[in-house]
A = this chain, B = another copy of it.
Amino acid sequence: MTGLATTRAIRRYADEAIPEEALAQMLFAATRAPSGSNRQPFRFVVLRDSEVACAAKSLIGASARSMWAHKRRNDGYDTGSGTHHDSPKARMAASMEQYVATFERIPVLVLPILVRFREPYSFEGSSIYPACQNLLLAARALGYGGVLTGWHMTVEGELHELLQLPDNASIAATITLGRPQGAHGPVRRRPMSELVFEDVYGASARWAIDPPGTQFTQAGPPRTTDS
């Protein structure tokens, strides 16, 4: 239960490989996940330090830098409190900046691949993202950490070719993994009263009370209108 409540996004990694035994355990946990009709439409392409892996990291790294630059502008990271060196907003921006700038040195990427047996539809993620969460929880349990991203999105075509993906396969995420570096804060989410309802939408469940010591946050990226 502790792992479920304390697994958080890790974006700074020690310059250290992940042993194959640990990788095997993480991927095993991923493959045990449920999927619709137990069809198991998930595959995982692991990228470490081969020539192909380095080429994929370069492609995704460049994509990450361009996507983050866009997001930084669009989500107003450099306005309002973002101009104050030590605000949460400025610290988040600095952390993201370092993450994408050193992307090629991330020890391991895992690309979860959805193999479609019918046309894309909104519900299909239910057969692959539980596996991704299992992977991240297993990483945490073994002393590693990571984060699920969409950094591949602008280079999906190039990756399809490089990684020899079949036509009916789609890259569902780019998961980055490594040994966490430095100190990491607690998981911050909205309080349960804003997220858990009983019977009708918006009616907080009276029994849904966060445990003592829970740390909260507002949802989402910084608001452009904040101070």
Contact = CB atoms under 8 A, between A and B. Distances in A.
A93 interface: no
A187 B32 contact: yes
A4 B134 contact: yes
A124 interface: yes
A48 B120 CA distance: 33
Interface string A120-151: 10111110111011101110011000011010
B28 A164 contact: no
Given A36-B150, A126-B148, A130-B130, A24 B137 contact: no
Contacts of A153: 123
Given A40-B190, A138-B4, A148 B130 contact: yes
Contacts of A169: 201
Nearest to A190: B40
Contacts of A124: 122, 125
Given A1-B25, A39-B220, A129 B134 contact: no
Interface residues of A, number: 90
A64 interface: no
Interface in A11-49: 20-21, 23-25, 27-29, 31-34, 36-48
A184 interface: no
- Most chain B CB within 10 A, of A141, A164, A198, is at A198
Contacts of A166: 201
A210 B25 CA distance: 9
A126 B123 contact: no
Interface of A: 1, 4-9, 20-21, 23-25, 27-29, 31-34, 36-48, 50, 52-53, 75, 113, 120, 122-126, 128-130, 132-134, 136-138, 141-142, 147-148, 150, 153, 163-166, 169-170, 172-173, 187-190, 192, 195-202, 205, 207-211, 214, 217, 219-221
9 contacts: A5-B32, A28-B210, A32-B189, A34-B147, A36-B150, A40-B220, A122-B122, A130-B130, A169-B201
